[in-house]
Structure 1
Amino acid sequence: MSAESQLRDQICLLAKSLFDRGLTGGSTGNISARTADGGLLVSPSGSCFGRLDPARLSRFDERANLIDGDKPTKEMPLHLAFYETRSTAGAVVHLHSCHSVALSMMPDVDADNFLPALTPYAIMKLGKVKLLPFFLPGDEAMGQAVKGLAGKRSAVMLANHGPVVASKDVEAACNAIEELEDTARLAMMTRGHAPRGLNDDQIQALVKKFNVEWDA
């Protein structure tokens, strides 16, 4: 089996895992990954994470031209913005996960640091998550907003919409976006109860030990 065939299968396997556990539903969410030749494999427009077909993934060349497969997700500008601004990006995942969307609607969240510091793992896997304003689905302005971050964030939260995470490969991106949703769930579960989160010294110790992008 070729490396690209393996990547196609991995994308579909991980997407189905996210779908089966309710992290995105219906035909929501999209996923992409770099191929060895610098191109991209992308989930098609209107596709369901629970039923992706490896043979029908949208295939782009290294210049972002569609060369094979079904019509890609309308959120391509969002994906391309991460690849263009983060040299380490090997995959991008976008979900409509409920708890992170719920947290994005709360009036007192910090737009520059969306997730509260409740556990070490969101800090380690995501750094600071930027909360972006609401955009219409498919609006190219989402991509422009990500480009405006100049590659300094690996994850953003689209208000009233869903999280987007870039990482070194598709497995790492899926793991990171799950951590984002889990932390948002903890935040909503403990909301109003004054939970004891990590203090500044603990956060900085994590940042130093795990080389986290944090001060940007």
Structure 2
Amino acid sequence: MNENQLREQIVTMGRSLFDRGLTMGSSGNISVRTGDGWIMTPTNVCLGRLDPARLTRLDARGQHLDGDPPTKEAFLHLAMYEERPQDNAIVHLHSTHSVAVSCLPDVCEQDCIPPLTAYYVMRVGKLPLVPYHMPGDLALGDAVRGLAGRHSAVLLANHGPVVAGKNLEAAVYATEELEETAKLYLLLRGQNPRCLTQAQIDALQERYGKP
């Protein structure tokens, strides 16, 4: 895709996420890597009402080149891109069920959601919890950077998920899978659900690779 097509795709995906209640108000942000940097959704803009011509363009170091001012969470995307050269898109949402999981006091910090379904394992894999930081705190970027090389998705405590993918479609699909599995996890809490075994997980990763 050329840059104009990527801009249109960001607008389409942002509207889809907003229309289905996966993001609200001006929360959440999307970015896509280009040949010499990346483009992303600007600050204080609703994902349901994006203008492709006004998307933020940044260089490979995250410096603002043109378009509207970037979101204050641009550094989260930069941290993921630096650690995941194989990925070309990132989605960060404050989606309800994922945030709910991030607030639980007894969640496993190494893997917040158990392997309930094959598609969760295939698209998300293990989901580590990043300790709480105030929004905009640059130390949060360092915390994400320490995990991103081994995980395509992380869950920010009391905040929401950050998910990378080989392209925007893959990143959005993985984010949606994470949100639906978070919903399942909350529905099943206290029910001792049957999870995939390690052998089943290994077989999936052998056939489809790790996310």
Task: Settle same-fold status: TM greater than 0.5.
Answer: yes
- 2:3 counterpart residue number: 4
- 2:85 counterpart residue number: 87
Q: CA RMSD in A?
A: 1.3
Q: Distance in 2 between matches of 1:61 and 1:165?
A: 20
- 2:128 counterpart residue number: 130
Task: Note closer, same or farther for the CA distance 1:51–1:191 as it changes in structure 2 (3 Å cut).
Answer: same
Q: Distance in 1 between matches of 2:70 and 2:38?
A: 11
- 2:108 counterpart residue number: 110
Give the unaligned 5+ runs of structure 1. none
- 1:28 counterpart residue number: 27
Q: Distance in 2 between matches of 1:208 and 1:134?
A: 34
Q: Distance in 2 between matches of 1:38 and 1:68?
A: 13
Letter of the 2:13 partner, please give it.
Answer: L
Residue correspondence of structure 1 range 162-201 to structure 2 within 5 A: 162-201=160-199
**More moved, 97-106 vs 193-202:** 193-202
Aligned to 1:140, which of 138, 141, 147? 138
Q: Distance in 1 between matches of 2:17 and 2:112?
A: 22
Task: Note closer, same or farther for the CA distance 1:150–1:132 as it changes in structure 2 (3 Å cut).
Answer: closer
SS in 1 for 2:176: helix
Number of paired residues? 211
What TM-score results when the alignment is normalised by the length of structure 2? 0.96
Contact 2:29 2:93 in 1 (8 A): yes
SS in 2 for 1:92: strand
Q: Once the 2 structures are TM-superposed, how far is the Cα of residue 62 of structure 1 from its aligned partner?
A: 3.3
Q: Once the 2 structures are TM-superposed, how far is the Cα of residue 150 of structure 1 from its aligned partner?
A: 5.8
SS in 2 for 1:149: helix
**More moved, 24-33 vs 201-210:** 201-210
Q: Once the 2 structures are TM-superposed, how far is the Cα of residue 149 of structure 1 from its aligned partner?
A: 2.3
Give the unaligned 5+ runs of structure 2. none
Q: Distance in 1 between matches of 2:73 and 2:205?
A: 31
- Runs of 4+ aligned residues of structure 1 deviating over 6 Å after TM superposition are none
What TM-score results when the alignment is normalised by the length of structure 1? 0.94
- 1:17 counterpart residue number: 16
Tell me the percent identity. Answer: 55
**More moved, 192-201 vs 47-56:** 192-201
Q: Distance in 2 between matches of 1:67 and 1:150?
A: 25
Q: Distance in 2 between matches of 1:181 and 1:87?
A: 25
